[in-house]
Amino acid sequence: MYSVKLEGRSDAKLRIIWLHGWGTDHNSLISLAMQFQNQAENYLVDLPGFGQTHKPEKAYGSEDYADVVADFIKSLPPKKTIVIGHSNGGRIIISLISKYKHIVDGAVLIAGAGMPLRRGIFFKTYSWTIRTFSPTVKKIFPFLKNVS
């Protein structure tokens, strides 16, 4: 698996592994990772089949990608490790933690794929009210036609 280590503090006690989303590569997270280059050792990876990492011989699922990421983490010297993943990277983190929780000290999911969206009754009622009555309200109050 291809990875890029950002320049930063070599004595950092924390390591961050960055996992990109589907259809992108490590470049999609560089600007965000650079915000942490003085606080942690940062590795941006190209998951199998993306960027500069070769396409796998078989179709990979989240657990397969998690195995690859776990092997990468195990190949590094022991250090407190946090994984941050965007979209599909978040889905991979869920599999990674469920199988390899002993090698990961923390996780951050950014718009994680596979996460059920839970909305409360207030939001559902508000949303239904807006969808149902919006056309009627705009007919009664024509000055609201340009309001979306």
**Surface-to-core class of residue 65, CB atoms within 10 Å of its CB (0-12 exposed, 13-18 middle, 19+ buried):** buried
What does each C-alpha distance from 129 to 19, 50, 74, 125, 126 come to in angstroms? 39, 43, 52, 6, 5
Tell me how far apart the alpha carbons of residues 28 and 45 are, in angstroms, rounded to a whole number.
Answer: 11
**Cβ–Cβ < 8 Å for 46, 89:** no
37-74 confidence digits (pLDDT tens): 999 999 999 999 999 999 999 999 999 999 999 999 99
64-105 confidence digits (pLDDT tens): 999 999 999 999 999 999 999 999 999 999 999 999 999 999
Q: Tokens at residue 112, please?
A: 């994680």
Q: How confident is the model at residue 141 (pLDDT cuts 50, 70, 90)?
A: low
**Cβ–Cβ < 8 Å for 19, 45:** yes
pTM, two decimals, is 0.76
Average pLDDT over residues 118-134: 76
Residues in Cβ contact with 44 at an 8 Å cutoff, skipping those fewer than 6 apart: 3, 4, 6, 18, 20, 26, 27, 29, 30, 33
Q: How confident is the model at residue 17 (pLDDT cuts 50, 70, 90)?
A: very high
pLDDT score of 112: 78
For the chain, give the longest Cα–Cα distance: 68
pLDDT score of 8: 80
Q: Report the 10 Å Cβ neighbour count for 33.
A: 20
Nearest to 20 by CA among 109, 146, 114, 139: 109
